[in-house]
Structure 1
Amino acid sequence: MEQRVLGGRYLLKDKVGTGGMATVYRAQDQVLDRTVAVKIMLPQYAGDATFAARFKQEAQAAAGLSSPYIVGVYDWGKDGDTYYIVMEYLRGTDLKSGIKSHGALDPKKVAQIGSQISSALSVAHKHEIIHRDIKPQNIMVLPDGNIKVMDFGIARAKNSHLTQDNNVLGTAHYVSPEQTRGQDLGPTSDIYSLGVVMYECATGRVPFDGDDAISVALKQVNELPIPPSQINSGVDADLERIILKCMEKDPTNRFQTADELRQVLNSYLSGRAVNVSEPTRIIGAPGELGATKTRELSDQTRAMVRPVSGVSGQNTARSSVSGSTGSYEVEEPKSNKNKIIAAVVAAVAVIGIVVAFATGLFGGEQVTVPDVLGKDQQTAVELIKEAGLEVGTIDQSYNDDVDEGKVAEQTPNGNTKKTKGTKVNLVISKGPKPSEKVEVPKLVGLTKDQAEAALASVGLKGNASEEANEADEGQVFEQGTEAGKEVAKGTTISYKVSSGPDTTSVPDLTDMTEAQARNALDMAGFGVDVSYQENDSVTEGTVISWNPSGKQKPGATITVVIAKKSGKATVPGNLYGKSISAAVTALNNAGFYNIGFCDQNGNPVSGNEDATVTGVSPTGKQSTDSTITLTVALSGSGSGSGTSTGDDSGTTN
């Protein structure tokens, strides 16, 4: 597929699954450099305001749930016309596939899975969120054996206006009796579904099966499950009672909270005593002691039923239910008359529920509800009336996704069958909700922390940047939107924070010539002041030192000291005993050219005489313009007795 980036951040890699209203992709979070799962609403739903609202609600609800057994939601948003949710990417297999591959699981493993799912549901229920679709396909088994509950796609927060939906949701094999009948759901509905999941884990098969969803759903209402131990003898009595208590037809007979169920399962896992009552073994007829609510039907439904042939007082009422060996039986009536009544009522129940599934109503002409989402109010009203329906309440609300004056929501949904004359309630969009206006506070003179606090106090956001300025370091010296101006709440206000006066680093001038130093300082924006200093240890014409160094304001003058020759040299100290010509050569090589000669009495003599040097004056470091006088001893004059006039080296060899 062509690579696509959502939200400027999530690079889609490959498709990993498709659900009823969304497709899931493996993706790369380019900011945090991690693999994530991105759930994208299918295109046919993206333009539907109701589905879009549900999709966003799913993200907001799931993002608030934190549990090691719930798939984490990291982010959500809208990119163009695409709604997406960013979730934790899981490696593993779903529980349904695991059961198909391995069959029934070990009882302890069943309890462990049930405990972890209970823990996840406990967190959701505390947030008033009912999952509504607990099934093995939505349970991911990780490589370490732990599980995570996935897909809150049809979950609803109790306080959401989207809960008013009569559609039967979920998968028929796992839905509770009350969910089958479209009744309001609570935490115990999820507990029933979890009981079915544990039943399947323990036995390798679902408790109720059939050729279609309706027949399975009818069994959820009317039949009791075969005890798991009769399918898998490895299921012990304690685990069986826990599972069957979860699957009680009457919600009040089940575990009342997911946390209660979790604690019981943990007790079972630790080998402690499990105090769970025996399950209900009778589904009584309506009106009889012990009858469950699942058999209560309206008078209108009963009136639709006709007597069926073959129902007589001779029919046995102790036939086992759904293949049961007899542990779960229908109560035997006390008379033939009661038998007939029970049989007829049973038929009424079946037909009534079938009618409820097929039409959603108990009688009356059925018509199709028109889909009026996105249409203007007048058109919507006309279409509803033309369909033989009535217009119910018409409310208005702000909606970011639907244009003003258009229908944003309808109840019941379009393209569903309803009794003629049913009221259709509408919600008309008022357009995007106008933003609240607030005044921008004065930020100049504050520190960054103070500026952020001032903005947050009125519902604004800050965007700080640093810049050199004469203001004190860390102080705000400029704001993008002037103080006192009204802006929408949530607006981002840019401002600048001083990093201190503008400075530039003085370049390193070591070993540079004067020309190189001048060029480097000029390029850095500094002025130059050059001075010269005699220094024979540094190459003539190169930098000895510069001042100031470090960071300085642009334009500052940098004083550079350049080395020059001193004009002095050291008189050679090894001239004693040399001939005049050798001594003169050594002095010339050292830079001395003014040379005088004298005898041992100080009388001038010619430098051309045959003599040896017995003394030098002056010695040490001298100006090369100085006259160096050599004391010489003429031949035959006792040259060995002469002493130097100043050369410490003038001693007899």
Structure 2
Amino acid sequence: MTGSMTGRLLNNRYKISERVGVGGMAEVYRALDNVLGRAVAVKVMLPQYAENDDFTVRFRQEAAAAANLQSPYIVNVYDWGQDNGTYYIVMEFVRGSDLKNAINQRGAINQRKVAEIGSQVCQALSVAHGLDIIHRDIKPQNIMVQPDGNVKVMDFGIARAKNSTMSKTSAVLGTAHYISPEQAQGKELTPASDIYSLGVVLYESVTGKLPFDGEDAVSVAMKQVQEMPVPPSQVNPAIDADFEAIILKAMSKNPQERFATALEMRRALNDYLAGRTVNVGAFSPSAATAVIGPGRSAMGSGGGAYAPANSTSVMPKLAEESRVVNPETAANYRAPSTNAPRSKRPLVIGAAVVAVLLIVAGVAWALAQGARDGVNVPDVAGKTLEEATDAIQEAGLSVGSVTYAFDPNVESGKVTKQDPKGGSKAPLNSKVNLTLSEGAEQVEVPDLSNMTADEAQRALKAAGLKFTAGAAEHSSDVPQGKVARQSPEKGSQVPAGSNVTYYLSAGEETLKVPDVTGMSESQAKVTLENAGFKVEIEQAASSDVPKGSVIRQTPSAGSSVKSGTTVLITVSAGSESHTVKVSAGSGGTAWASSEMVSDGESVTVYYKADSGYMISQAVNTATGNKFQVSDNEEGSFTIPKVTSSMNISVTFVKKGGNAPSGNQGARGGNPPAAATAPGNGA
């Protein structure tokens, strides 16, 4: 079932995530309630019990009853049902650890804290008993201690289902350390049985030891019926006499001599905690021989008293009560009538004694075999402490020390090591020491910003981390060769030994400008933008490049520039030629750089005066507009735009003389050799 339950969705509502506990009859999983969006605990009955009709009927009745229990000290039952033969109960998800785990880790717990726990459990029991629900399985494993110190009692109702006929043996023997004498005898139980079990829990919590222990469950059950507990103060001398009296009264062998109700026991515990007088009344917790510590009276300081049984009555009572250790026969056993002839009672007693001796002999043989050959140590690696404890105890062993260690390969809270190892042999009742994982140790990722590769590697090693060098990245902020980026980021909490990748700066990113000359305007724009550049466009006339194609670009093709640089492309507007003619009067020569120019292009006019002459003026003969010229012998002037054909007239005059009258005509041919004029003369 364990493997198949994880990830399962029960009744389209409860999504099972992980197993958090296991017992003899059920497994407990953490789950998500998809309707209410909250974490819940889902207890799933094991198949061998779910297949029994008597059990399922009882289970449904008791689960419904448990759902009605309302107390801050009881784990709430939200829902119950079945899905394809799987019976389950949905409960409150309680954070914390069970009391048994605390005892195993710490040993004896502060007696006032134990009294507080007992008071809260009593309140839970009084609620249940008021609804005629007897827990029947009070033990520290069923008492959850929350982070705030308050407790929650688990498994109300389910324990009663365990006492169905088909499961009687496992119910009695499975929790023999905590069962009441009458439960060991298979008698009809009353709320007093829960009070006895709580007394055992308080005894163990305040001393760190169980009041009755033995080689197996049968011998422990026999001690519950026959033997007196060693007073807690003999195990832990620091225990107050008042608190000891409360514990021993709860553990009285006779149910009538225990506290009448859980509420009465709670009042006694609260009186103790408040420093008030504790009056437990007269009681006799013995069934055989009371053990009183040296120097201590059998009288409790609160006025109560417990007295040892008359030694002459020990054997008859022992023989009479010994019948109960076999729960299968105890269920059908009828006590001898007090009106029966006295001559028959010795026969009954003798038969009971013989039965007990046979059982003890069988147990002793089994124990002898285990002691001689040893028992197999179960492999509990990867189990929770509760799961490991159950497996170890079932093997006839017990849990020794419990320590914690970081282990990145084992989930926190689960066993990472055990001694002895699983699969080996160990003496019966010997201890198995456990190491629980705390998960991977968490470390903080250091800040590698602006470090060199060597500096970054040293910092990561010092933090207990591994490293990988990623591909260099361009950065406009970080110098080349220094760490520009890291993953995970600085300050992150990661498991020790994790890998951190650092990326060195390759300096500022530069790109080569692609050659787009000759491309169409749209093609050139797409090419440059895809390469990471911005684009500006201007137009110019060209007689050589078709209209709409790129004449030139700036920066030029192949230049290395920053990403995002703007590239200016000049697009041809086509060719439209205009004629510029230049004529000059006598006394000098003038000519244009080119007679044929395109629309929008400028043209330069050069002039050179003859010896003794200087330029006077230059005029557009069509418009009369004059061009600015220098009063010297040689120079040039520029016509910014040529939008139509034009004639330029240049006039020269003698130095110190007046301007000649009229235009003396154009000078044809090429300019004189001294003038290095481009193009043709006019």
| TM-score interval, normalised by the smaller of the two chains | 0.3 to 0.5
TM-score, normalised by the number of residues in structure 1: 0.45
TM-score, normalised by the number of residues in structure 2: 0.44
Max Rg structure: 2
